Structure 1
Amino acid sequence: MKLGFDLSLKQKQKLIMTNQLIQGINILQYNTIELGEYINQEMEKNPLLEKEETSVDAGEGEVNWLEFVKNTNKTHEHSQPYSDDEEKNVIENVKCMEESLKEILIGQLHVLNLSEEDYGVGEFIIDFIDERGYLSAEPEEMAQMIKVPVTKVIKLVNLIRRFEPSGVGGRNLRECLKIQLINMNHFDDMLFHIIDEHLEDIGYNRDQKLMKELDLDKEDISYYRELLKSLDPKPGLKYCEEEPDYVIPDIFVEVIDDKVSVTMNDHYVPRLKINSYYQSLLQKGGDEKTTEFIKSGLNSASFVINSILQRKETVKNIAQLLFEKQVDFLRSGEGYIKPMTLKEIAEVLEIHESTVSRAIKNKYAVTPRGIYSLKHFFTTGLASQEGEDVSAVKIKDIIKDLISKENKKKPYSDQNITDILKEKGYTISRRTVAKYRENLNILSTRERKEA
């Protein structure tokens, strides 16, 4: 056997999430207030950025900085759709869904000794944790979106699942409960099996079924039930009281001459330009270090301005298409919301579903029917017997109405409601009825009767 050293070149593909990629993703998901705060922070860090009545059109990629300076007078118009007095009416009595939980999780993330890339991936994952504490995206989806190995995402998801509040980061109720048990070092295969396969049975006190199928006695079942009751099914909700009380809408929607008009709210977004002092320094020339500093600042400023403009275009395009499809809602109200999916919007605009998801996150629209979260309009659909698509919102309204008018001494069961809906022409499973009822925070048949 011949042993020796050898030098060779190998081509290898490696996925790296840059700070600019993270920054661009964050800018897209910012609502109006968050974007204004972000711009103020960037101006503090980058002396080349300053507020102005006009902003600079930044191109993609590397900036030709001399050409950039020559064209700083080019403007981008930003509309101001309402006055200060009108603004007070817009924000009145509208609940906000800002993420105070997010700050708590990010604070715990940055206590750990991680690489800069891991901090970025961790913050990206935390963005997908909703107000309940549930993770709303699969690791494979997130890895694809930010172009990092899925193993890295899974590693950081598992890390975040050890944070407080315990149970955060689970994708559903079952994962949430199991995470809490694992964090308590409580490993019990039977209990995990109950959570996976018999959670409804133990919740509805179906003890005979549990005793028969799991070979347990009443004491065991009682012990498991009390242990599960001690866990928090929605650990993130305890932080809701700390959330802001109001939102500023991001979009204004009108129907003018049968056409949907969408206007972006740029009232809180400062217009940006390049600082004139640094322009003069570049034009005069100077030492190499100064030139490099200014060039770096120009590239950073270019990226910020370009990302803000791209965010505006993306959000406006999505909102325009969304409300064109929901024109019946704009004219007639909630009962006329049509089923829509992120995929449907993404395919028409030729963008990724994840882009739509992030663009509508925490965004609100003022419509002729009131102020609504953009997420409100992405509902699953059911088909009536006539073949018409009916939104889940409409089905929920029917369920709510049925229960409000029921005989309180003999309330409807989920199966009763399923049968009534079928008579009305809506084919829906009993399990879906139960899910919708729970979403409406309506008690079960037994609990309504007892109440």
Structure 2
Amino acid sequence: MKTTLKAQMSQQIAMTPQLLQSIRLLQLDSLRLEQEVRRMLERNPLLEQEEDEEDVVAEDTNPRAVIDEDEPDYAWERGAHAGGGGEDEDAMARVADRPHGDFRAALLEQFALECRAPSELALAALVLDHTDDNGYLEVPVAELAALARAQGLDADALETVRQRVMRLEPAGCGAADLSECLRAQLDGRDGVDPLAHAIVRSHLALLAAHDLPALAAALGVDRDRAAAAVDRVLALDPRPASGWGAAEDAVVVPDVVVRKQDGQWRVSLNPRTAPRLRVNAALERLMGEANGPGEHAVMRELLQEARWMARGVAIRNDTLLRATTAIVERQHGFLERGEEAMVPLTLKEIADAIGVHESTISRVSTGKYVQTPRGTFELKHFFAVRLNGAEVGGSAVRAMVRKLIDQENPAAPLGDDAIATLLARQGIRIARRTVAKYRDQLRIPPAKVRALTGNGRGYARSA
């Protein structure tokens, strides 16, 4: 046997404690950030909070959106979306209001308690960054592995980490499909139910068809046992993340306020949700004067911790402010004219505009709310996917569908084909089924039903 030496170069991400803390602070909502700051202030005498309420200021040169240095008049809104003309939000484009934080942050915190290495935590963060608001992966597992490899992470360990994430609470998040999501929930329950497992693994089509005799035959059991297994499956949640901590009447305090002043859109942080921390200068000076090996070792650790915390909070505030400003610059049409003027926007566009990774924008836009003259929205609301055949996003097209139905003749309601034709005349060429999808999201019945009830416009207004 011959022993040889071989040099090999590779790229890896070093997840330092400072980086992990910055990532965690970015994804905290205002309530959890307040709790974290209070906890740190209580345990670390070297850390203190600035009492003034001056807004965090960053330089901006775009004439459409200006970072405001004046303290605005903040109003507390009820519900995840308040005021502003009654426009309906796309539940698939935002995370519901959660008083206990976003499910991604909660899952990452759970995983951090049991992870064996920082690289595993980075893989878990990657999985959750690409998990939609219902709890499912937005990209195929193979593509996710390629992303991990491109970021210098261990792609071979990705699947193991993903399976562990799916076993956390809420169970099933990070699943590639419905079957995998339901299996993860069954695995977390007391006792093994082979019939329920068999249904979610191989017979979901029969379950969806409510064909109990065929399902019993496929399972090889009588109808009573099949019915009992069906009941256990129906008790599972096919969208494990959609209702995480949702509170319909919860109070939402905006993290950012946008208002128009002197013809310009001004963006400012809410000082109530953007604390400013600093290290106690007097104690820091005393520690600098102290000498002797081993002296004040505990205080030095507290000093380092205080510096990290103050810097982490400052980075979070600065990133949130710059990201919101970039969003306002691109979506000023929405602020002035409403949903119909919402333009397509991606996380990558905002990330490139402020010089950060798109995963950073994903974290900072989740669970953060912005108050505008049109209402209070989660930042994720402003990211719209470009539709094929149109230069506008789905939110704008949905608003156009609502407007056409609102203006239709109640005696001769517009069918989905007619709406698609009218949109095509405006340069927006979409399929009839796309019109039907948006009409369903607006909770507006088909033209035949509206013709019978005679209140098509009433449905549109109440949606």
Q: Fold conserved (TM > 0.5)?
A: yes
Change in Cα spacing, 1:118 to 1:41, as seen in structure 2 (3 Å) is farther
Q: Which amino acid aligns with 2:77?
A: I
State the Cα distance separating 1:23 from its structure 2 match.
0.9
Pairing partner for 2:22 from 10, 21, 24: 24
State the Cα distance separating 1:365 from its structure 2 match.
1.0
Alpha-carbon contact 1:100-1:242 (below 8 Å) kept: no
Aligned-partner SS, 1:33? helix
Change in Cα spacing, 1:412 to 1:160, as seen in structure 2 (3 Å) is farther
Aligned to 1:389: 391
Change in Cα spacing, 1:268 to 1:106, as seen in structure 2 (3 Å) is closer
Aligned to 2:71: 81
Pairing partner for 2:304 from 284, 299, 303: 299
Aligned to 1:91: 77
Aligned to 1:426: 428
Tell me whether 1:282 sits opposite 2:301 in the alignment.
no
Matches within 5 A, 1:112-127: 114-115=115-116, 117=118, 120-121=121-122, 124=125, 125=127
Tell me whether 1:323 sits opposite 2:328 in the alignment.
yes
Tell me whether 1:49 sits opposite 2:54 in the alignment.
no
Aligned to 1:313: 318
Q: Distance in 1 between matches of 2:209 and 2:407?
A: 24
State the Cα distance separating 1:346 from its structure 2 match.
2.2
Alpha-carbon contact 2:254-2:369 (below 8 Å) kept: yes
Matches within 5 A, 1:3-402: 15-53=13-51, 81-82=71-72, 86-87=73-74, 89-94=75-80, 96-98=97-99, 99=101, 101=103, 105=107, 109=111, 114-115=115-116, 117=118, 120-121=121-122, 124=125, 125=127, 132-135=134-137, 139-140=144-145, 143=148, 148-163=153-168, 165-171=170-176, 173=178, 175-177=180-182, 179=184, 185=194, 231-241=236-246, 245-276=250-281, 278-382=283-387, 389-400=391-402
Give the fraction of aligned pairs with identical amino acids, expressed as a percent.
Answer: 28
Aligned-partner SS, 1:372? strand
TM-score by length of 2: 0.68
Change in Cα spacing, 1:12 to 1:144, as seen in structure 2 (3 Å) is closer
Deviations along 1:300-332, whole A, 9 cap, x unmatched? 222222222222222222211211222222222
Q: Distance in 2 between matches of 1:234 and 1:322?
A: 29
Q: Distance in 2 between matches of 1:47 and 1:309?
A: 19
Q: Distance in 2 between matches of 1:250 and 1:393?
A: 23
TM-score by length of 1: 0.69
Q: Which amino acid aligns with 1:24?
A: S
Q: Distance in 1 between matches of 2:283 and 2:215?
A: 79
Q: Which amino acid aligns with 1:351?
A: V
State the Cα distance separating 1:260 from its structure 2 match.
2.1
Change in Cα spacing, 1:241 to 1:371, as seen in structure 2 (3 Å) is closer
State the Cα distance separating 1:383 from its structure 2 match.
6.7
Q: Distance in 2 between matches of 1:128 and 1:24?
A: 19
Q: Which amino acid aligns with 2:71?
A: P
Alpha-carbon contact 1:51-1:271 (below 8 Å) kept: yes
Q: Distance in 2 between matches of 1:107 and 1:311?
A: 18
Change in Cα spacing, 1:144 to 1:244, as seen in structure 2 (3 Å) is farther
Q: Distance in 1 between matches of 2:452 and 2:297?
A: 74
* Farther off after superposition, 290-299 or 95-104: 95-104
State the Cα distance separating 1:164 from its structure 2 match.
5.0
Change in Cα spacing, 1:413 to 1:286, as seen in structure 2 (3 Å) is same
Q: Distance in 2 between matches of 1:232 and 1:163?
A: 14
Q: Distance in 2 between matches of 1:242 and 1:36?
A: 19
Q: Which amino acid aligns with 1:352?
A: H
Aligned to 1:71: none
Deviations along 1:414-437, whole A, 9 cap, x unmatched? 667655644554212355445545
* Farther off after superposition, 11-20 or 308-317: 11-20
* Farther off after superposition, 374-383 or 359-368: 374-383
* CA-based RMSD: 4.9
Q: Distance in 1 between matches of 2:181 and 2:276?
A: 43
Aligned to 2:87: none
State the Cα distance separating 1:145 from its structure 2 match.
9.6
Q: Which amino acid aligns with 2:376?
A: I
State the Cα distance separating 1:259 from its structure 2 match.
2.2
Change in Cα spacing, 1:355 to 1:48, as seen in structure 2 (3 Å) is same
State the Cα distance separating 1:379 from its structure 2 match.
0.4
Q: Distance in 2 between matches of 1:440 and 1:115?
A: 46
Alpha-carbon contact 1:79-1:266 (below 8 Å) kept: no
Q: Distance in 2 between matches of 1:405 and 1:237?
A: 33
Change in Cα spacing, 1:93 to 1:267, as seen in structure 2 (3 Å) is same
Q: Distance in 2 between matches of 1:146 and 1:176?
A: 26
